[in-house]
Amino acid sequence: MGQLDGKVAIVTGAGRGIGKATAITYGREGARVVVASRTPATTEAVARQIWDAGGEAIGIACDVGHKDQIFAMVDQAVAAFGPIDILVNNAQGFGTEANPQKSTVFVSVQDTDDVELEYTFRTGAQATLWAMQAVFPHMKDRGGKIINFASAAGMTGDPGNTSYNIAKEAIRVITRTAAREWGPLGIQVNTVNPFLRTDAWENWEKARPEDVRKYADSVPMKRLGDPMKDGGPLMVFLASDGNSYMTGSDFNLDGGWEIHA
């Protein structure tokens, strides 16, 4: 018996990093998983990996920067698997829609560009809100678990990450507001702030090696977390019946980095 047997889960940004690790772990724990990401080939590859491990999944191409695509993705997920029990909002865009980046790019407060800010906010905070609104009709009468991804970078005001910090702090506010409004309906909404070695981290490391090395060295546990080994168990717990009374909370999956910072 898996901890998520019989549950239907949507994971956005599931083509790589912690989104991919979460989708695969959920499949192992018995959930029927909707692998949502922008690239069709990537979603299908991750869904196939879940099937090959004995799980059940479908891949749905979805650009979370577009509200209509999010609602269409949720409709397709419900048609395939039934009402949604778990939503993981992991997707986040960087750069601009015309020139997307694989990770954050250092830009000072005074040089922050409106176009970058709009795209980062839309693919982060607004996309999180849209996905929550899309699954709400399927959770309002039966409860559910929503896990949103923010960042310790926003909490500490990480220099050079103005657009990203704004988007991630807005996600924490959306989480707390929904937790209060939807708590009576049995919908739990929590936030995870990860500090893990992912594709985005490695791209960031190439762009800012000295700064990134300082971040890694400041982790009290003296290592970067692994998306599967360190992230998977927490993501399963937050989505499982074992988590029955926590909502509106921040979980720092960061080896203690936030308390050091």
Round the average pLDDT of the chain to a whole number and report it. Answer: 93
What pLDDT does 195 receive?
84
What pLDDT does 180 receive?
98
Give the orientation angle of helix 232-239 with respect to helix 17-28, to 10 degrees.
60
Higher pLDDT, 131 or 211: 131
Query: What would the pLDDT profile of 194-215 be if each residue is shown by its tens digit?
Result: 988 777 667 666 766 777 677 7
- Domain at 8-243, CATH homologous superfamily: NAD(P)-binding Rossmann-like Domain (3.40.50.720)
Mean pLDDT, rounded, for 132-155: 96
Question: To the nearest whole percent, how much of the chain has pLDDT over 90?
Answer: 79
Among the options 26, 119, 164, 215, which is catalytic?
A: 164
Confirm whether 26 is a catalytic residue.
no
pTM of the model: 0.94
Question: Is residue 247 helix, strand or coil?
Answer: coil
* Assigned token pair, 115: 């176009």
**Concatenated DSSP letters of 90-129:** ----EE-SSSEESS---B-GGG--HHHHHHHHIIIIIHHH
What pLDDT does 205 receive?
67
What pLDDT does 130 receive?
98
What pLDDT does 256 receive?
86
pLDDT at 261 over 60: no
Query: What would the pLDDT profile of 41-80 be if each residue is shown by its tens digit?
Result: 999 999 999 999 999 999 999 999 999 999 999 999 999 9
Mean pLDDT, rounded, for 120-147: 98
Length of the chain (residues): 261
pLDDT at 257 over 90: no
Domains of the chain by residue range: 8-243
What pLDDT does 218 receive?
79
Displacement of CA 9 from its chain's centroid (Å) = 13
Higher pLDDT, 25 or 211: 25
Least confident window among 52-66, 74-88, 110-124, 223-237: 223-237
Element (H, E) at 73: helix 67-81
Higher pLDDT, 226 or 148: 148
pLDDT tier, 220 (very low <50, low <70, confident <90, very high otherwise): confident
